Amino acid sequence: MRIIYPNGDGVSVIYPDPKFLVAGFTVEDAARKDTPAGIPYRIVNDDDIPVKDELRNLWTADFSDPDGYGIGPDAWRAEKGL
């Protein structure tokens, strides 16, 4: 799974750290933490991401019905009591 969010010039892609997931956190946790605060995100399958990095700014995604909104790392850690 990958996390995508709009960045103004296209779509940014977050690759959740496997160590974060093995530590008991979820892809949703990674999305809320690593997506900038107030920005919508979607969680998508790996196959939905263009293979070539140079094509990344040429594609778009629909964020009108996002999976959630980022809160940023500081707010996420405070929420989790870390």
53 pLDDT more than 70: no
Helix H, strand E, coil C: the string for 14-69 is ECCCHHHHHCCCCHHHHHHHHCCCCCEEEEECHHHCCCCHHHHHHCCCCCCCCCEE
pLDDT of residue 52: 65
pLDDT band at 33, cuts 50/70/90? very high
What are the φ/ψ torsions at residue 43 (nearest 5 degrees)?
-105, 120
* Res. 34 pLDDT band, cuts 50 70 90: very high
Helix axes 27-34, 73-80, angle to 10 degrees: 130
User: What is d(CA 62, CA 3) in angstroms, rounded to the nearest whole number?
Assistant: 13
